């Protein structure tokens, strides 16, 4: 932070060895030249003042993902602010009302800017964070597409096949910008591990119980307890998961991805003499406005896709277009028969009203649907009430699945709803809702 209390954040061109020591330097776009961007950490209720400078050759903006923010500070170019032009600055100034693990990323042509490196962690601490700094570990998990030389494959950005299928999937994973890192942990101590999936499209299948970790928060929102999760839990693009773990034995503990064969992408390296055992203290949850399910209003959210799904035609800019015309315009996806941003909101809510979104995934692919400016509870999947109706800001939906979520629309403004598989958002799966 500088004298006036502003944190300086600058989008610049930079380089990094994604493939590791033997790999070459990939050309990336970075915040402050770092991969991931600098950690921004404040306490709950504190003001965040960021003076952002765009030193790229193209416009950009910064979105604060998962924060219940003032609409004007949401950082969505073309909706909440004009894009920040090359050489220009923009001051972001907001209060972070809820503790938890959040992140920030570019929100202008995100499909092109985020997978070049424009993402960083935003941590809002509880007043009484029980974990000391060296036991509070952030892991930004990123999926990259590298070419045969181990360099970022830039030629395939915007490939139609990616957009119309599962999105831009990579072939290389990094944690905090490094491949297969060692993560130091201390024997007998409780650690908090904050996972952030910054990938453009990759859903990570994780099994925290395999290394003795329990889950204490999803998308920043703490449960108030530590939950044992059997088997695999998915971390979709943009989602976060906070774990707690207490390594008891010496020797590396593999951190694995469970897609197919378990695949190690990091090792927790345990050191130190066994400290005197400390009780686990899990932070209390944020107090978020509870949905009023009795007086709620329901809206459908129908997801349809082109080539692979059942979408025959859709509206774009108020005009009915055939599937062929939509594909020519680069649109493969639609919410409620509308590809991309409509003139009218997808739904409108009165301030304070509870909205139930009844989503149906009528496409051949999974999606990760994110709503801006709000948290919501996931109530049901395929008609079954969930045992834990957890708070989220991004929910997954598998092909053919119906998912019901409840949100209290209490933040006035125009907010995006989009798939966080960024190529999907760019090719139709993005619209907006209004709270007035
Ligand atoms: Cu994390 Cu609209 O995005
Ligand atoms: Cu967001
Ligand atoms: Cu999607």
pLDDT tens for residues 323-362? Answer: 999 999 999 999 999 999 999 999 999 999 999 999 999 9
Please check whether residues 143 and 217 belong to one and the same domain. Answer: yes
Residue 279 in domain = no
CB 41 within 8 A of CB 125: yes
The strand pair at 204-206 and 413-419 is best described as unpaired
**CA 30 – CA 12 distance, rounded (Å):** 5
Please check whether residues 242 and 302 belong to one and the same domain. Answer: no
Please check whether residues 264 and 312 belong to one and the same domain. Answer: no
- Residue 374 lies in domain: 297-435
Mind giving me the DSSP string for 280-349? Answer: --PPPPP--PPP-SSS-EEEEEEEEESTTSS--EEEETTEEEEHHHHHHTT--EEETTB-S--SS-S-EE
Ligand 1: atom nearest CA of 65 is 1
Say how many Å lie between the CA of residue 361 and the centre of ligand 1.
20
Please check whether residues 20 and 75 belong to one and the same domain. Answer: yes
Task: Tell me the two tokens of residue 108.
Answer: 């202008």
CB 307 within 8 A of CB 327: yes
CB of 426 shorter than 6 A to ligand 1: no
Please check whether residues 114 and 148 belong to one and the same domain. Answer: no
- End residue of a domain, out of 107, 126, 145: 126
Say how many Å lie between the CA of residue 199 and the centre of ligand 2.
14
Q: What is the pLDDT of residue 275?
A: 64
Residue 374 in domain = yes
Name the band, by pLDDT with cuts 50, 70 and 90, for residue 2: low
Ligand 1: atom nearest CA of 66 is 1
357 phi and psi, to 5 degrees?
-95, 120
Q: Is 169 exposed, middle or buried (0-12, 13-18, 19+ CB in 10 A)?
A: middle
Q: Among all chains, which residue has been given the structure tokens 């774009």?
A: 316
**CA 216 – CA 91 distance, rounded (Å):** 33
Domain count for the chain, please give it. Answer: 3
Residue 319 in domain = yes
Please check whether residues 113 and 29 belong to one and the same domain. Answer: yes
3-state class of 133 per DSSP?
A: helix
Nearest CA to ligand 1 atom 1: 65
CB 50 within 8 A of CB 32: no
Say how many Å lie between the CA of residue 25 and the centre of ligand 2.
30
CATH of the domain at 423: 2.60.40.420
78 pLDDT higher than 70:
yes
Say how many Å lie between the CA of residue 363 and the centre of ligand 1.
21
Please check whether residues 366 and 306 belong to one and the same domain. Answer: yes
Q: Identify which ligand lies nearest to the alpha carbon of 369.
A: 3
The strand pair at 394-397 and 367-371 is best described as antiparallel
CB 70 within 8 A of CB 410: no
**CA 29 – CA 16 distance, rounded (Å):** 10
Please check whether residues 321 and 426 belong to one and the same domain. Answer: yes
Residue 277 in domain = no
pLDDT tens-digit profile of 370-396? 999 999 999 999 999 999 999 999 999
Say how many Å lie between the CA of residue 295 and the centre of ligand 1.
29
CB of 367 shorter than 6 A to ligand 1: no
240 pLDDT higher than 80:
yes
Residue 324 in domain = yes
- End residue of a domain, out of 96, 126, 156: 126
Share of the chain above pLDDT 90, in %: 91
- End residue of a domain, out of 97, 126, 155: 126
Ligand 1: atom nearest CA of 103 is 1
Residue 285 in domain = no
Cβ < 5 A residues, ion ligand 2:
65, 372
Ligand 1: atom nearest CA of 416 is 2
Nearest CA to ligand 1 atom 3: 65
DSSP state of 155: T
CB 173 within 8 A of CB 205: no
Please check whether residues 328 and 220 belong to one and the same domain. Answer: no
* Partner residues linked to 125 by β-bridges: 43
CB 414 within 8 A of CB 79: yes
Q: What is the pLDDT of residue 66?
A: 98
- Please compute the mean of the pLDDT values over residues 99-103 and round it to a whole number: 98
Please check whether residues 264 and 179 belong to one and the same domain. Answer: yes
- Average pLDDT score over the chain: 95
Please check whether residues 311 and 399 belong to one and the same domain. Answer: yes
**Interface confidence (ipTM) of the complex:** 0.99
Please check whether residues 114 and 160 belong to one and the same domain. Answer: no
Say how many Å lie between the CA of residue 220 and the centre of ligand 1.
15
């Amino acid at each position: 932070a500088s004298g006036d209390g502003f944190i300086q954040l600058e989008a610049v061109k930079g380089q990094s060895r994604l493939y590791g020591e033997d790999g070459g330097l990939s050309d990336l776009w970075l915040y402050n030249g770092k991969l991931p961007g600098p950690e921004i950490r404040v306490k709950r209720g504190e003001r965040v003042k960021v003076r952002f400078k765009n030193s790229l050759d193209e416009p950009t903006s910064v979105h604060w993902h998962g924060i219940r923010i003032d609409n004007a500070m949401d950082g969505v170019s073309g909706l909440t602010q004009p894009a920040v032009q090359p050489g220009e600055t923009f001051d972001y100034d907001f209060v972070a009302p809820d503790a938890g693990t959040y992140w920030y990323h570019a929100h202008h042509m995100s499909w092109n800017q985020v997978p070049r490196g424009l993402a960083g962690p935003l941590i809002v601490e509880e007043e009484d964070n029980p974990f000391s700094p060296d036991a509070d570990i952030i892991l930004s998990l990123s999926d990259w597409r590298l070419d045969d030389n181990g360099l970022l494959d830039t030629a395939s950005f915007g490939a139609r096949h990616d957009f119309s299928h599962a999105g831009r999937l990579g072939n290389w994973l990094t944690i905090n910008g490094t491949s297969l890192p060692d993560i130091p942990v201390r024997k007998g101590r409780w650690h908090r591990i904050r996972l952030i999936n910054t990938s453009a499209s990759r859903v990570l299948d994780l099994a925290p119980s395999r290394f003795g970790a329990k889950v204490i928060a999803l998308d920043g929102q703490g449960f108030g307890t530590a939950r044992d999760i059997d088997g695999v839990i998915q971390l979709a693009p943009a989602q976060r998961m906070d774990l707690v773990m207490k390594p008891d034995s010496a020797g590396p503990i593999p951190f694995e991805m469970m897609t197919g064969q378990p695949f190690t992408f990091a090792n927790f390296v345990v050191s130190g003499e066994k400290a005197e055992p400390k009780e686990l203290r899990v932070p209390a949850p944020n107090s978020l406005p509870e949905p009023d399910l009795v007086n709620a209003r329901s809206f459908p959210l129908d997801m349809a896709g082109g080539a692979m799904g059942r979408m025959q035609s859709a509206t774009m800019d108020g005009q009915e277009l055939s599937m062929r015309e939509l594909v020519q315009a680069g649109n493969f996806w639609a919410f409620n028969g509308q590809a991309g941003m409509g003139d009218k909101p997808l739904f409108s809510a009165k301030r304070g009203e509870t909205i139930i979104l009844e989503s149906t995934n009528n496409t051949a692919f999974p999606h990760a649907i994110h709503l801006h400016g709000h948290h919501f509870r996931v109530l049901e999947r395929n008609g079954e009430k969930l045992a834990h109706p957890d708070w989220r800001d991004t929910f997954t939906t598998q092909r053919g699945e119906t998912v019901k979520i409840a949100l209290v629309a209490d933040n006035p403004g125009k907010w995006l709803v989009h798939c966080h598989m960024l190529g999907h958002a760019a090719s139709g799966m993005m619209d907006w809702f209004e709270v007035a």
